[in-house]
Amino acid sequence: MRGGPGWAAATLALPAFQAAPALAAVPAVRARFLPGLHGVGRPDRVALTFDDGPDPESTPRFLEVLAAHRVRATFFLLGTMLRRWPELGRQVVDAGHEVAVHGWAHDNLLLRGPVATVRDLARTRALIAEVTGRTPRFFRPPYGVLTGAALLGALRLRLEPVLWSCWGRDWTPSATGDTVYDTVRAGLAGGGTILLHDSSCTAAPGAWRSALTALPRLLAECRRQGWTVGPLGAHRDPAR
């Protein structure tokens, strides 16, 4: 029979368990207490990451710029996008880039139940592995909002959650190459992780162009500072 103080306490604790990890979305919190989640890695490197693809309108253009600069990156893929354009996911891997889980759709996980959250992570991970032949290691939740269910699901699926230490705010209608460069540069340091978007599927139409315009300047700035730019795996693992 349900009831009593113990059951009531457990019922009240469930929402707190689900929502508490969302505090990590605050950069100052995770920078101080959760450096791994903040994307902090080797001080002589910078990790370059992209969210929301693959997108046939924009992802190939980012691949071209990265190839021209001989830089590899990590692409956090949405399951819905990869299901529509699997050949583009394979193209990302064939170009030498790392692929990771961004979720099935770009849903705020605070609005998803525990069962749906774990199911979405599992099917995205499985689709990425099936399409690209690579088992993803990293997971970044949409909007950077983690939940208790997402953390448990990531642990179960052997996914490592990681957010970012600087971003370009390249999803806004007013974003330009200059604003993206300046915003990233303001928070960029050796050992950091950059977040950009190679798709505008969940943003202002065409906003990805601001990130594409800023990308060569950002890569040049990292070279000037003596930082090697690469994917998260190399950022975290000294042997890679």
The set of catalytic residues is 51, 197
Question: What ranges make up the beta strands (E) of the chain?
Answer: 45-53, 74-77, 98-101, 138-139, 160-161, 166-167, 193-197, 228-230
Read off the DSSP letter of residue 137: -
Counting other chains too, the contacts that 13-18 makes at CB distance below 8 Å and 24 or more residues apart are 17/148, 18/110, 18/114, 18/147, 18/148, 18/149
Does residue 172 contact residue 183 with C-beta atoms inside 8 Å? no
CB-side neighbour CA atoms (13 Å) of 38: 21
Burial bucket for residue 95 (CB in 10 Å: 0-12, 13-18, 19+): middle
Cα dist. 56→14, 35, 170, 182, 226 in Å? 41, 34, 18, 27, 33
